Amino acid sequence: MENNPFIQKMLGYGEQGWELALSWLTSPAAWSQFALLVAAFGLAWLLSRRLNKMLRALLTPAEESQGIITTARRFVLRFLPLMLPLLAYVFTAVGEQVVRSLFDSGAVIAFGKRVFLFLAARILVQRIITDPFLKLLGKFILIPIAALYALGLLDTATVALTEFQVGIGNIRFSLMALVRGLIAGSLLFWLGRWSNDQSAAMIGNQKELRPATRQLAVKAVEIMIFGAAFLLLMNIMGISLGSLAVLGGAIGVGLGFGLQKIASNFISGVILLLEGQATVGDFVELDGGEAGTIVKMTARAIILETYDGRWIVVPNEDFIVTRVVNYSDQGSANRYEAEFSVSYDTDINTVPAIVEAAVQAHPDVLLEPYPADCELRGFGDSGIDFSVEFWVNGIDDGRHKYTSDVLFRIWNALKDNGIQIPYPHRVIEFKGEMPK
C-alpha cells in the first residue's frame, strides 16, 4: 500500500503544502499579505452592504409590474449575492500588484484571490442558479474545478488528464477531451433544450399557421438545434467527423436491421406532419380499435387520450399503413343519429315536424350542411321506429353529450304532444283448453 504511486504522490503534495504553510507563518511578507487580504475583505464587505441597499432600492420593481424591463431588473437582482466575493477578488488583485512590487512575492495573496473566486462559484451554485440541471452541473463540475484552482492544482490535474489517452477503434482522444466534452456537451444540450422550448412556444403562438405546419416547424427547429449542438461538441472534443465514418456505417447497418422500425416511424411522422391529415386536437379511430384525441405528436409515435383519461401510444407507421377515421378533421361538422319509437296508435305523419323542431332548437345543432331530419325506419315489434339525423361541430364524447341531449328533447316533445313511446309487450294465444 505504501508503494502505491498515487498514494506516494498525494503524500508528496501534502508535504509540500505543509512546508509552504510553515514558510508563510514565519515570513513577514506573508503576514503583510494576510493583512491585505483581511483589509480587502473588510473593504469589500462595507462597500457591498452599501451597494446592495442602493441597488435593491433602484432595481426592485413593483409587484404588479410586468414587461421585459421588469424581467431584466429581477434577473440582475438575483446576482447581488456575488458582489461581496467579487469585490474582494478585485481589491485583492490590486493588493497583489502592490505586494509583488514591494516584496517580489505574492503567493499568499494570490491564494486568497483564488479562494474568493471559489466562494463566488459556491454562491452562484447554491443561491443563484435555480435550474435543477444547471445546479447539478455546478455542484459536481464548477465547484470542484474552482476548488482545484484555489488550491493551485488545476494545471496539474489538466496535464494528467491530457496525458491519459483513450482509444475506441481508430478514434483516439485524451481523458481531458472527454471531460471537456462532457462539460461542453451538458451545457450545449441544456442550451439546446432551452432554445427548443423557446422556439416551440414562439411557433405555437403563430395561430395563422395550420397545426400540422406548426408541428413540422417545431420538429425542424429541434433537429437543427440539436444537430448543430452535436457538431459543435465534436469540434470541442477534437474528434474529426471523418473518423465517424465507421460509426456511421455501423449505424446504417443497425438501421437496416434492428432500427428499421424506428426509422419507419420517424419518416411516417414527417409524412403525417406534411400532409396534415391528422393533427393535435383531432379525434381519430384506427382499424385496431384505438380511439381518442391526439394530444401529442412525437418523432416516433402519436399519443391519444381516451374518454376515460388514459393515454395510448400509437406508432406513426400505423397512421400510414392502416385505415384511420378522423372525426374532427380540424373542426368540420359531424353527423349523428338518435333512434326512437312511437306507439302504433300515433298519427305518424305529425311525428317528423314535432321532432325536427325540438332537435333543431338545440343550440349546437347546425342548419348547414343539413338541418335536423327525422326519417321513418321501420315497423317494429312494439312500435314504429324513427331516427333523427343532426349535424354538430365537434364529436359526441364525455364533454359534448349531443345524442343524450337530443334524446331528452325528443322525449319531452313527444310527451308534450301526447305521443306515447312504447315499451315491449307480447300477446300470447292459447289454442285449446286453458291450462289449469
Same structural domain, 256 and 194: no
Residue 354, classed as helix, strand or coil, is helix
Dihedral pair phi/psi, residue 339, rounded to 5° = -95, 145
Last residue of a domain, one of 163, 191, 221: 163
Q: What is the model's pLDDT at position 168? A: 64
Q: Indicate which CATH number applies to the domain containing 375.
A: 3.30.70.100
Whole-prediction pTM: 0.49
Residue 248 burial (CB count, 10 A): 10
Q: Is residue 3 part of a domain?
A: no
Same structural domain, 315 and 394: no
Dihedral pair phi/psi, residue 197, rounded to 5° = -65, -40
Q: What is the model's pLDDT at position 1? A: 46
Same structural domain, 16 and 159: yes
Q: What is the model's pLDDT at position 84? A: 87
Same structural domain, 185 and 249: no
Same structural domain, 225 and 251: no
Same structural domain, 25 and 74: yes
Range of the domain at 338: 333-417
Q: Report long-range pairs for 15-18 (Cβ below 8 Å, ≥24 apart).
A: none
Closest residue by Cα to residue 337 from 378, 279, 377: 377
Q: What is the model's pLDDT at position 407? A: 93
- Return the H-helix or E-strand segment holding 116: helix 107-123
Region at 330 (left for phi over 0; alpha for psi -120 to 50; beta for the rest): left
Cell 451545457 -> residue: 187
User: How are beta strands 333-342 and 283-286 bridged, if at all?
Assistant: unpaired
Q: Is residue 436 part of a domain?
A: no
Low-confidence ranges of the chain (pLDDT < 50): 1
User: How are beta strands 373-379 and 384-393 bridged, if at all?
Assistant: antiparallel
Same structural domain, 344 and 226: no
Same structural domain, 339 and 197: no
User: How are beta strands 333-342 and 324-326 bridged, if at all?
Assistant: unpaired
- Return the H-helix or E-strand segment holding 328: none
The secondary structure of 407-430 as a DSSP string is: HHHHHHHHHHTTPPPP--------
Closest residue by Cα to residue 314 from 326, 306, 303: 303
Same structural domain, 58 and 84: yes
Contact 311, 303 (CB under 8 A): yes
Same structural domain, 275 and 388: no
Same structural domain, 194 and 307: no
Q: Is residue 313 part of a domain?
A: yes
Same structural domain, 157 and 69: yes
Contact 419, 346 (CB under 8 A): yes
Name the domain count of the chain: 4
Dihedral pair phi/psi, residue 35, rounded to 5° = -65, -40
Q: Indicate which CATH number applies to the domain containing 270.
A: 2.30.30.60
Question: What pLDDT digit, counting tens, does each position of 59-75 carry?
Answer: 787 777 777 787 777 88
Last residue of a domain, one of 163, 195, 219: 163
Q: Is residue 7 part of a domain?
A: no
Q: What is the model's pLDDT at position 19? A: 59
Q: What is the model's pLDDT at position 106? A: 64
Write the DSSP symbol of residue 361: T
Beta strands across the sheet bearing 373-379: 333-342, 384-393, 373-379
